[in-house]
Amino acid sequence: MNTATSAPRLWIILARAHRALGTLAERSIADTGLCLSDFMVLEALLHKGPLTIGAIQEKVLLATGSMTAAVDRVENKGLVIRTTTKEDRRARVLQLTDEGRRIAELAYTRHAQDLERQMEVLTAEEKQQLGDLLKKLGHHAGQAVAEQEERKS
């Protein structure tokens, strides 16, 4: 009996796991009263400190329109402020307000606890192995994409 998992089967397993965990993660975030894109902006600022909109966008992988809408929403809620820098007065840097930090910390803590509960089916060693394997696969796929893009140009 062949127990090897084919690449197409592995892709289906990965896609289904991503969809199920993604749904749970989105529900976890929605339960905090934030939408996913607003949460991603606040979480980036919470863990990385003040950032430009472009820097946040690179970290959270939101489309420009979604990023602008998310920033506008969290700013209108008083959770972030936009400031300028001495180096470039045109650049806008976002930073959390005190209320924004409070909301971000609460939302992130709850979300992290929800994710831990979902992943408690894995041992610490299995989580480490899974993380290492997914990074390995992601780096390899990233290199393949870069090579394809290079051939196109």
Cα-only R_g, the chain: 19
- For residues 132 and 115, what is the distance between their CA atoms, to the nearest angstrom? 18
pLDDT of residue 90: 76
Residue 73 lies inside a defined structural domain of this protein: yes
- The residue among 35, 127, 28, 44 whose CA lies nearest residue 93 is 44
Residue 126 lies inside a defined structural domain of this protein: no
| Tens-digit pLDDT profile for residues 113-147 | 999 999 999 999 999 999 999 999 999 999 999 99
- Counting the structural domains of the chain, the total is 1
Q: What average pLDDT does the segment 78-92 reach? A: 84
pLDDT of residue 33: 86
Q: What average pLDDT does the segment 88-114 reach? A: 92
Distance of CA 153 to the CA centre of its chain: 30
Residue 133 lies inside a defined structural domain of this protein: no
More confident position, 33 or 109:
109
Residue span of the structural domain in which 47 resides: 34-118
pLDDT exceeding 70 applies to what percent of the chain? 99
- For residues 41 and 44, what is the distance between their CA atoms, to the nearest angstrom? 5
90: domain CATH number? 1.10.10.10
Residues in the chain: 153
Residue 16 lies inside a defined structural domain of this protein: no
Residue 101 lies inside a defined structural domain of this protein: yes
| Tens-digit pLDDT profile for residues 28-78 | 999 888 999 999 999 999 999 999 988 999 888 888 888 889 999 999 999
- For residues 55 and 71, what is the distance between their CA atoms, to the nearest angstrom? 13
| Tens-digit pLDDT profile for residues 11-34 | 999 999 999 999 999 999 998 889
Helix, strand or coil for residue 83? strand
Residues 6 or more apart in contact with residue 146 via CB below 8 angstroms: none
Surface-to-core class of residue 149, CB atoms within 10 Å of its CB (0-12 exposed, 13-18 middle, 19+ buried): exposed
Residue 28 lies inside a defined structural domain of this protein: no
Q: Flag whether pLDDT at 1 surpasses 70.
A: no
Residue 146 lies inside a defined structural domain of this protein: no
Distance of CA 23 to the CA centre of its chain: 14
Residue 124 lies inside a defined structural domain of this protein: no
